[in-house]
Amino acid sequence: MPMLREGLVVGSIWVGRGEVGSFPDKLVKLLQTFADQAVIAIENVRLFNETKAALEQQTATAEILRVISESPSDLQPVFHAIVKTALRLFHVSQAGLALREGNSFRVMSKAVPGQPIAGPFPDLIVLDTDANFPSRVILNKEVLHLADWDVIDLPPFEQGVRDQEGFRASLVLPIQRGSECIGAFAIMRNTPGAFSDKEVALMHAFVHQAEIAIENVRLSRETQEALEQQTAMAEILKVISESPTDLQPVFDTITKRAMALCGARIGVLTRVDGELLHLVAYHGASEESAVALRAAFPTKLEHKTRISARAVLDRAPVNVPDVFADSNYTTIDAARLGGYRSLLAVPMLRENQVLGTINVARAEQGLFPENLVKLLQTFADQAVIAIENVRLFNETKEALEQQTATAEVLKVISSSVADTAPVFEKILDSCLRLFTTDQAGVFLIRDDVVYLEASRGTGFGKSSRYLAMF
């Protein structure tokens, strides 16, 4: 029986018995259930590990942001925090950050395992693409990813570094301000091999932090705004975690925080239901404007007289600088009573399906800036996450209620989120008992090779005989 995850085969469950004849449909369905449970266990472990890694990365990012906020006029603590964090998360042999100074560059911070963070260094290094890797990155404004130094021609500087430090692989990213490259951030390790896509992406995130610190070293106000946004996101995530079956508290919090961070007078959240758009949350409206707002919903989606409907139909943000100058906008009473002129609506998208919109309205005329459009899209993404969480929660609950026969397996899964072995053992024990068989096994596919991951009964000592069957 194949173990499927999103249409991909990740393994199989195999059972056999001495009698001739096909297994009845009910046992085939039961084995399919066990295969599904095995996939759940594998997915749990994957999600557990990804969540753990994500939390470590979020903690690292938060730490760097904390240093930025505490060093509004000093970049050095920020650089030290970045290289120190990179050294820890990537498990590399060295992490370094350099800044351009005219036709040269200076190493501002360097981290090595077991040694204090060092820098800035007094020596300037001349920019020369033939002399060293940082020069190539800074002058070419391109990422330099080298998986094995032993198979390439190294510049003189890197030849000395390899001989002295034993480096075999490196990843160097440019630090930019607009179209100008102002530095480079590098990690090196003593073992050959390419850095993973996730590691490259995380390196880009660290570079972005450095760029933020460099660009906004004196701009504490922007830092404060970023912290407020993070606080809002954390608050929303907290509400999501506390409301696994109730969307209303999440919608209310998102609407309130979106309105506050966008400097809006009114925040609104709508949901799509068939051909109608319903008002499900709003904040900031006076009683009179709330009455007018509620009277405008539900509305048919073919009516583009509603900004929300436009966002749904266009599947894109709708940014209106002045609703009173928009001939298609018909809810003028709500705008007049609410005291707003400009309006922004962002669709809540899940796999190209629009679930609803988040709207904010301001008293001032003019388009919402791009950074606020992106911020509102982030709120929309969080609303989609909340909706998806509730859907998955309800589906899981229904599945658990229907699958009473697998309660014992689910119990093991819940107590073994980081280890599939007990789950496989319980599944195989159940197979031996329920299928009246003396052999059962779990096979997993890794790198196009089938492995016998777990087994019960006799005859599995010569596993190659079974592997040849697949």
pLDDT in tens, 133-189: 999 999 999 999 999 999 998 988 888 888 888 999 999 999 998 889 999 999 999
- What value, to the nearest 5°, has the Cα angle with vertex 111 and ends 172 and 133? 25
Question: Which pLDDT score is estimated for 272?
Answer: 93
Question: Which pLDDT score is estimated for 222?
Answer: 62
Mean pLDDT on 12-23: 82
Question: Which pLDDT score is estimated for 464?
Answer: 46
Q: Is the pLDDT of residue 95 over 90?
A: yes
Among all chains, which residue has been given the structure tokens 């002045």? Answer: 322
Q: Is the pLDDT of residue 421 over 90?
A: no
Which amino acid makes up residue 53? Answer: A
Of residues 378 and 393, the one with the higher pLDDT is 378
CATH topology of domain 222-396: Beta-Lactamase (3.30.450)
SS3 assignment, position 62 = helix
Per-residue pLDDT band at 84 (split at 50, 70, 90): very high
- Residue 422 to residues 265, 419, 425, 442, 443: CA-CA distances in angstroms? 55, 7, 5, 12, 15
458: which DSSP letter?
A: S
Mean pLDDT on 27-52: 79
Q: Is the pLDDT of residue 220 over 60?
A: no
188: CB partners within 8 A, 6+ apart: 92, 93, 94, 95, 161, 165, 167, 169, 170
Mean pLDDT on 8-29: 83
Question: Which pLDDT score is estimated for 227?
Answer: 77
Q: Is the pLDDT of residue 467 over 60?
A: no
Outline which parts of the chain fall under CATH 3.30.450.40: 74-217, 222-396
Question: Which pLDDT score is estimated for 104?
Answer: 94
Question: Which pLDDT score is estimated for 465?
Answer: 47
User: What digits encode the pLDDT tens for the residues 422-449?
Assistant: 888 888 888 777 777 788 888 898 888 8
Q: What is the mean pLDDT of the chain?
A: 85
- Residue 447 to residues 212, 451, 466: CA-CA distances in angstroms? 40, 10, 18
Mean pLDDT on 108-125: 93
**Which pairing describes strands 104-111 and 2-5: parallel, antiparallel, or unpaired?**
unpaired
Per-residue pLDDT band at 345 (split at 50, 70, 90): very high
Of residues 218 and 152, the one with the higher pLDDT is 152
Question: Which pLDDT score is estimated for 425?
Answer: 85
Question: Which pLDDT score is estimated for 303?
Answer: 64
Q: Is the pLDDT of residue 54 over 70?
A: no
Q: Cα(220)–Cα(226) distance, rounded to whole angstroms?
A: 10
Per-residue pLDDT band at 267 (split at 50, 70, 90): very high
118: which DSSP letter?
A: B
User: What digits encode the pLDDT tens for the residues 278-332?
Assistant: 999 998 878 888 888 888 889 888 767 788 889 999 999 999 999 998 888 877 8
Question: Which pLDDT score is estimated for 349?
Answer: 93
Q: CB-based burial of residue 465 (10 Å sphere; 0-12 exposed, 13-18 middle, 19+ buried)? A: exposed
- Residue 341 to residues 335, 336, 347, 362: CA-CA distances in angstroms? 7, 8, 20, 6
Q: Cα(412)–Cα(425) distance, rounded to whole angstroms?
A: 10
118: CB partners within 8 A, 6+ apart: 109, 110, 111, 112
Helix (H) or strand (E) holding 348: strand 342-350
Q: How many CB atoms lie within 10 A of CB 220?
A: 13
Percentage of the chain exceeding pLDDT 70? 90
pTM for the model stands at: 0.42
Q: Is the pLDDT of residue 352 over 90?
A: no
Q: Is the pLDDT of residue 219 over 70?
A: no
CATH topology of domain 74-217: Beta-Lactamase (3.30.450)
Question: Which pLDDT score is estimated for 98?
Answer: 96
